[in-house]
Structure 1
Amino acid sequence: METLGSIECFVRSAEAGSFAGAARRLGLTPAAVGKNVARLESNLGVRLFQRSTRSLALTEAGERFLAEVGGGLASIQNAIANLASAGGQPSGTLKVSMGQSFGRDYIVPLLGDFLALYPAIKPDWHFDNRQVDLISEGFDAAIGGGFELPPGVVARKLSPAHLVLLASPTYLQNRPAIRIPADLAELDGIRIRSPQTGRIRTWPLTNREKTEAPIELRERMIMSDPEAACRVAEMGLGITLVSMQHALPYLESGSLQRVLPDWYVDAGNTTLYYAAQKLLPAKTRVFVDFVLERFREQRLDERFSGLEKLL
């Protein structure tokens, strides 16, 4: 009978594409991972990997074995973790990825109440504006939006990902009223460059009737951070386009106001996603349920909508 440890070394090596990658995830040395895999191959009587100095590739037998044991290993590990939860409570390290500003402003404030309910859970939260690979990077869950999720991932909607135009009252007060998107053409734009791709994305505006119109602001400056763009807009230097998640504190304080409040950019949804499993780890399940419930209580689904004129 093969041990779970040897099988896990094989599965993680296949996911990472190297013994070193598997070792980092398992907290072992690459040599220990390699020995466990070699022992498994010896006991099974088949070669699972083709090895070279630069790569590690599954053999045909290895691909079949991975397909048969991969899901079962996760289920067994989750069953053990759930059974071993401290005092019947969910426990263990909860590794979650989330955007920097979104996580800091809307998820971190929930941490105290979450840990009061589940003191045996140890948060390991990563703040990075990118899409992570849940399996190969060992994340229990992630929060983000604006990307296609691969098969085998469950996505739970937290809120719409709408972007809105903002400017300071001082910038707008001595200028002609802005009534339609075409009125933007002679105004200063504070554009935002993606720090991940380096691109300045061109978004179309839309409204309740799903009419679309281009954003034709005169490009005055470019920032790579939406918080910086909002601060510059507060200084009365132009109009910027940011998500409602970034905009909300400025709208609530009155330092910025919406431009063309009947128009917004629809960038999809912000979702909480996790790997589809028959037996979800208790620590992941309670985190998902807790965040969804708090977002409902705070009406963030409505407050992040560009359709709502809250202010």
Structure 2
Amino acid sequence: MQLTTESRNSRTMQIDTADTKTILTMMNEEDHGVAEAVKEVLPDIEQVVGFVLHSFQKGGRLFYIGAGTSGRLGMLDAVECPPTFSTPPQMVQGLIAGGEHAFVKAVEGAEDDEAAGRQDLQSRGLTERDTVVGLAASGRTPYVKGGLAYAREIGAKTAAISCNKNAQISAYADQPIEVVVGPEVLTGSTRLKAATAQKMILNMISTASMLQMGKAFENLMVDVRVSNVKLRQRAVHTIVRVTGVPKKQAEETLDAAGNEVKTAIVMLECGVPFEEAKELLTKAEGYVRRAVKRGGARGGSSR
């Protein structure tokens, strides 16, 4: 069976003789269809978000497992979660065929080792509370199949993201996501449209899951980890936007809250000290809105 990801694109057959502007135009036109392809699989993505959210609520973890570009995309999404959402590093993890050094230098043949996919998840202590998302543009990577097969054996929820219909890895998933973006600009170069689609889907899975864990207030990142000057400025501005207090007061409250933005907001909105704000957030399961409502906003109003 001819894989869509390996098919030739009739619209780019002359790309090797095109000038720079034409090459870029061709690529841009091909990229236009990626978001539409992702739109077609939103119901499938929704199911996977449900798996991940259930795992998080039960103290489980999210694992991405892939090879090459797909593996790197999983690792990228995983490492961005701690600074963005103040999650512990183990909560979202990325596994790549050939080990972490394969992120910066290809490890030839690693993707063909089906047993390694199983072993890598075993080494992380995978349990039935976890969710495993396998990534393979072609949908047939042995490393990913091995990992998904092991995850199903022990009762973990599984999902598979591929860019071909009837992908092999779909058979190992409780919920397959087959996002078909069509032939690449360069035949078989799935770091292009296929990778863009996978990146978009990973953004959706992690962000939607975190939002439903109380990691935002309105559309503001209120659980950002304050680890540098830029992020501290963002944290202060967020507190000002939500509470309306002067910048200096926001800075002082952020310090008193141990650089926890959510806690600072609850302190200011409810007029309570640090310990009480923490207790309100705990009872509200981390949701700022619920905590403020429970504590009673200043002036008797709540957002």
TM-score (norm 1): 0.30
TM-score (norm 2): 0.31
**Higher strand share goes to which structure?**
1
State the structure with more CA Rg: 1
